[in-house]
Amino acid sequence: MARALAQFAGSLVRASTWRLALRGLGRQPRRSAVVLAAVAIGLGSLLLAMALQYGLVGQMAETAIRSEIGDLQVHASAWKDSAPLAERMPEAPSLAALDGAQTLIGVAPRLRGEALAQSPRASVGVRVIGVDPAREPSVTTLASLVQEGAWLGVQPRRALVGGGLARRLRTGVGDKIVLAVQDVRGDLTGEAFRIGGVLNPPTRELDESVVVLSLPDAQRLYGVAGEISELALAARDRAALEAPRAEAAAALGVGVRVETWREREPLLSMMIELFDQMGWVIYAAIFVAMAFGIANVLLMSVLERTREIGILLAIGMPPARMVAIVIAESAVLVMVGVALGFALGFGGIYALRDGIDLGVFGDGLRAYGMPTKLMPIARSGDVTAPLVVAGVTALIASLWPALRAVRTRPAEALRRA
Amino acid sequence: MATLQAEKVSKRYAVRGIETWALRDVSLAVEPGEFTALAGPSGSGKTTLLNLFGALDAPTSGAVSLDGQDLALLSRSQLAALRLAKLGFVFQAFNLIPVLSALENVEFVMELQGAAKAPRRERARAVLADVGLAELADKRPLEMSGGQQQRVAIARAIVSEPRVVLADEPTANLDSVTAGKLIDLMERLNRERGVTFLFSTHDPRVIERARRVVRLRDGSVVADERDA
């Protein structure tokens, strides 16, 4: 067995094995071309479809991270989304602990609360986010979403609202709104703010039900001077969030909880993971179907060449070499097909590099945090997954024909011809 | 010790449930350096006996040995190695690999034996020149005549200097002039290099050139004639 395996491995590196395989495939060029086309078109379409799907979920994640969440968030251990004011952290010591962290490129303190926003014409229940105007742009793109007016500055009592909320309140830049809240002691209170800017956020939730204040204004409104609800963090490497999580946890000590964006958005995270798993399933399904086609072609080729295989075995070709030739034929078919498929798929991705404009569905897409311009995103897995699956396919598809070839009895093959 | 030996060898084929005995209790020994013809009409068992000596088929009963090695005791891979090391084949229908050139066909046996590219190519060209085909080295089989193909087959059979060449009706598809040249070539190899030849034929012109003629009929040896 070991000898046969060594012979097989040795055969695979011989140029003549590949020459025989190529010439064998060249005997029926039309048939080989049909298989190549099937592999190439199947894989190319799949790559493009996967890139568009990943573009969709990837942009959804990017939107969530960059518009509000950040890569990581820090809260007091007992903090809950449903009662954002109940548990708080000291602002200055928390910032001091994280400033200078090697794995972070941005730290933004926030205070979260709830309010009733009132204009002279309407009232709307809203979420209030108090942000540090100078630090927030290091973590999110909120500041760049201002479509009218200006980002928060040093002027007190300025509020930013989404275009949707402005419409609901029937108000605009320069108008006043009143935020009625229940402060940290449970007392009803309120304050008037002038709308300093209108945002154009990528999600309906930010657009229609969020008011952004400067952190000092929010702290005064809720009566929590010097305290914050959360720290939003931007990591130096988003693909490796465990290091910044560990560094932040170590710097802040006990009593805090550091979560990644995946933990803050479990549904989105699950969608991405599900998509990754589905990718393998789809690749496997496509290639299993291809494997039957390839096995069929190889088997036909082997049966047509019964006499030739008989000759090769008669003149002393080791069975392991015969197996290597059939596997090489399969590998050539699959690999050339995969190369063409890559060219088609990545060519398509390149052609759509500017994105597909889905603006006509804008409102509906924004409601689910989906992008209105769909950009295909290719990943390294789009190369490695097909290569791995194709390699396995080439092997599996050729096993039956290869076994059929080595079981050929030379005398019988020569007699039959 | 005989180079080739068959002891009470029988071979039965079953085609659609009908059994046919191709050989019955055949015993034959071929000594080193012999130039032996297996003669007999079609269906007498010549090809079957050659296939058994060439380890291409297994007998239904009896034993076949090559240089004293019982072929029944060898695995498929060991039989392939044995054929590669010791035997050369010439088949009736040429049986060259159609996708390889004449040179590549001849060279292929040495490549299987692990010979380095430069010397094996040089040797293959020399042997092709020996059989008068130097100028057709790069032609594929379908671009050559039957006689040329058979000469390539001879070149392939002898290129690695095997101990034994088994030839099945080597002149069957050739005109008399080409057949005569082929027998000349085989005789020369036998005489100059000591290669043992065992070939089947029913061509009287070939039979009369053999130094030993074993006659078969209905799967049995009916005569074994040697030159005086």
Q: Side chain identity at A136, as an amino acid letter?
A: E
Question: B69 in a domain, yes or no?
Answer: yes
Q: Cβ of B72 under 8 Å from any chain A Cβ?
A: no
Provide Rg for chain A, Cα atoms: 31
Q: Is B104 part of a structural domain of the chain?
A: no
Residue B32 lies in a domain: yes
Which of B47, B81, B99 faces A316 most closely, judged by CB atoms? B81
**Mean pLDDT over all residues of chain A?**
87
**Look-up: residue for tokens 């039956």?**
A400
Residue B171: inside a domain: yes
Whether residue B95 and residue A414 make contact (CB cut-off 8 A), yes or no, is yes
Residue B228 has pLDDT above 60, yes or no: no
- The rounded distance, in Å, linking the Cα atoms of A391 and A230 is 49
**Is B59 a member of any domain?**
yes
Q: Which of A4, A316, A417 sits opposite B83 (nearest CB)?
A: A316
Q: Does B56 contact A411 at a Cβ distance shorter than 8 Å?
A: yes
Question: Quick one: pLDDT at residue A369?
Answer: 67
Q: Which residues pair with A213 in a beta bridge?
A: A130, A159
Mean pLDDT confidence for A173-186: 94
Contact A318 B77 (CB under 8 A): yes
Total structural domains within chain B: 1
In-domain check, residue B139: no
Q: Which residues of A touch B89 (CB under 8 A)?
A: 314-315
**Candidate from B51, B93, B109 with C-beta closest to A315:** B109
User: What is the Cα gyration radius of chain B?
Assistant: 17
What's the gap between Cα B67 and its chain centre? 16
Tell me which residue has tokens 């596997």: A327
Q: Is the pLDDT of residue A151 over 90?
A: yes
The number of helix segments (H) and strand segments (E) in chain B equals: 7, 10
The per-residue pLDDT for A367 is 66
B77 CB neighbours in chain A (<8 A) are 3-4, 7, 318-320
pLDDT at A225: 92
Hey, is the C-beta of B53 within 8 angstroms of any chain A C-beta? Answer: no
pLDDT confidence of residue A199: 94
Q: What 3-state class would DSSP assign to A219?
A: helix
pLDDT tens digits, residue range A259-305? Answer: 999 999 888 888 888 887 887 788 778 777 877 877 887 788 788 88
Contact B155/B139 with Cβ under 8 angstroms? no
Residues of B in contact with A317 (CB under 8 A): 80, 84, 112
Instruction: Look up the ipTM and state it.
Output: 0.87
Task: Please name the member of B57, B76, B83 whose beta carbon is closest to the beta carbon of A315.
Answer: B83
Min Cα–Cα distance to chain A from B89, Å: 7
Q: What is the mean pLDDT of residues A347-364?
A: 83
Q: What is the CATH number of the domain that holds B76?
A: 3.40.50.300
Q: Which domain holds residue B78?
A: 4-96+152-226
Across chain B, mean pLDDT equals 90
The size of chain B, in residues, is 228
Return the domain boundaries, chain A: 2-64+268-416, 78-253
Whether A395 shows a pLDDT value over 90: the answer reads no
Nearest chain B CA: its distance from A287 CA (Å) = 30
Q: What's the CA angle centered on A158, arms A154 and A161, to 5 degrees?
A: 130
Decide if B218 is inside a domain.
Answer: yes
Q: Is B108 in contact with A315 (Cβ distance < 8 A)?
A: yes
Is A311–B95 a contact, with Cβ atoms under 8 angstroms apart? yes
Tokens found for residue A387: 């290569």
Of the candidates A24, A27, A316, which has its C-beta nearest B84's C-beta?
A316
